[in-house]
A and B are shown apart, each in its own frame.
Chain A
């Protein structure tokens, strides 16, 4: 084994991957499009929506905030004098998209003349509440910063009117990450392996003193790096665009992504070992990845599916990857909690590795 050579080869492999637009499309652009489409589809519209504002504070800061909200594009403001409970129910029922309550209760945190801004939102429309959260908190901090004085002029908090559960976007993001890592890994490795063999690249490499397994290891290392890039980019996208709250345990998603990517790379390697034509590889990977995509709880919770589908889901590695990512990225669960998922992924990896090493051929 020659680590320097493997390192240099891995860098070359990475260059080859990221220089292909199709690779970047499937690994980064496609999941972002999918996330956006599904996020918008199951939210209501791209319009931020109509919000109720109840201003009982009547401070300069609260007036400034009402003015700022009114002048915000895509936001319709209805001023209301009625009670907060009624307005909250409107949000819950979907008659309004959010409620902003501005009050001046006094107290040590915000000072006697400070304003308290509370946002109530519903998770039923994930996109809108995501956008509104961003808009209202942004305006609150801007107005607060503009006001002079020692203590903050506005203290902002937000509350869900629903019982505690995941936003759809929160639910969706880890599923999309798992899905895109799977697609990149399975399709990426199987097609490249078939192409290398068909075009005689492997034969040519056999004529060099480098063992071919080193070449494969470098490809897998490069693919794992791509998977980590997907994880980082998609988490950033979800946090910024959909306002998804990322758990502090999200670092534990790294081993889950690596184990999942490895599992699907070995799956792609198995396909690449068994078929000899690029078109066949394409067809086979589609047959494998498409059902998995819909049956593994990537887009919708498996618990919402019929019993037999749930049984199938639990036999699919993508289910465990999506589950592990969801637990760590948005459900605030640590590494210990996802050890069973990691175990399943590594076990499947091992089983597939045995199969593929038996069927693999260089020519």
Chain B
């Protein structure tokens, strides 16, 4: 069963095509990632599915219902954490959650607030003003607000952007808990390759308004047909190659350099990642 079906989705701003006829499905219970550099069209795509932006063409079905022309119909079944997370600074986490539960006409706000705070690990900040919390805590609060009415599908737009590595890792645990323990379908956008690799069951790589690949991270990497990535600088020029046998490749490289009398610097051998997939698909480096 698919939670989301998107077909031929297109959005233009004047001459600029922000999203160019993309199609994909998100399965129920899946953690689905839309990965791409800034300006690839990730947020626009998400906002059309959420019902914030009207598409110029294409269909979106969410939980079996078309989102447009009446996006309000599915609102109580989705939860959204937008990129801009600053909310009402002078309300406490608990007050905000109770208020949002109220927006959804849920009367058991206090109970829901407590449960959601626990899920995102913010119990100790229940009485803190939203404006007084750290970036990571505010982000967790934004996710809690997306969850308080117990939606089926949760959208997280660049949930870890601007967070330090530690806060990012903590947030990953929260997102895993939402997906695994609470069993929600999670759709997230990110421009962090590692994040997509770590969190997502399947990843759609977006570049210049199109989806250029859609697979599990493991299969995407396997599609490179290599076990290792070797990179080094030789005479000031960068070399990257994908190989099966690390030992043979490294020895050959060094041997060839020794024979030609040139200098090898910064030799690095590691397993391939989504970064390499992006490089291979677009011919460009992925810049985070």
Contact = CB atoms under 8 A, between A and B. Distances in A.
Contact of B105 (A5, A12, A200, A204): A5
Given A8-B102, A203-B52, A209 B75 contact: yes
A207 B84 contact: no
A73 interface: no
Contact of B91 (A4, A12, A199, A209): A12
Contact of A16 (B51, B75, B90, B102): B90
A5 B103 contact: yes
Contacts of A210: 103-104
B87 A12 contact: no
Given A8-B102, A12-B95, A200-B84, A207 B50 contact: yes
A206 B72 CA distance: 9
A20 interface: yes
Contacts of A200: 82-84, 86
Given A8-B102, A15-B91, A203 B76 contact: no
Contact of A207 (B52, B105, B129): B52
Contacts of A5: 102-103, 105
A193 to B, nearest CB: 14
Interface size, B (range): 20 to 34
Contact of A8 (B75, B84, B90, B99): B99
B103 A20 contact: no
A205 B103 contact: yes
Contacts of B83: 200
Contact of B95 (A15, A199, A206, A209): A15
Nearest to A198: B84
Contacts of B82: 200, 203-204, 207
B105 A209 contact: yes
Contacts of B286: none
A207 B51 contact: yes
A9 B102 CA distance: 8
A201 interface: yes
A111 B187 CA distance: 90
A203 B51 CA distance: 11
Nearest to A195: B86
B24 interface: no
A207 B72 CA distance: 8
A169 B83 CA distance: 53
Contacts of A204: 80, 82, 84, 87
B103 A208 contact: yes
Nearest to B47: A203
Nearest to A20: B90
Given A5-B102, A8-B102, A15-B95, A201 B88 contact: yes
Interface string B82-124: 1110111011000100011011110000000000000000000
A15 B91 CA distance: 7
A214 to B, nearest CB: 9
Contacts of A203: 52, 82, 84
15 contacts: A2-B105, A5-B103, A15-B90, A15-B95, A16-B91, A19-B90, A200-B83, A200-B84, A203-B82, A203-B84, A206-B52, A207-B50, A207-B75, A208-B75, A208-B103
Given A200-B86, A207-B51, 11 more contacts: A2-B105, A9-B103, A12-B88, A16-B91, A199-B86, A201-B88, A204-B82, A204-B84, A205-B103, A207-B50, A209-B75
Across chains A and B, which 4 residue pairs bring their CB atoms closest together, nearest first? A200-B84, A19-B90, A208-B103, A210-B103
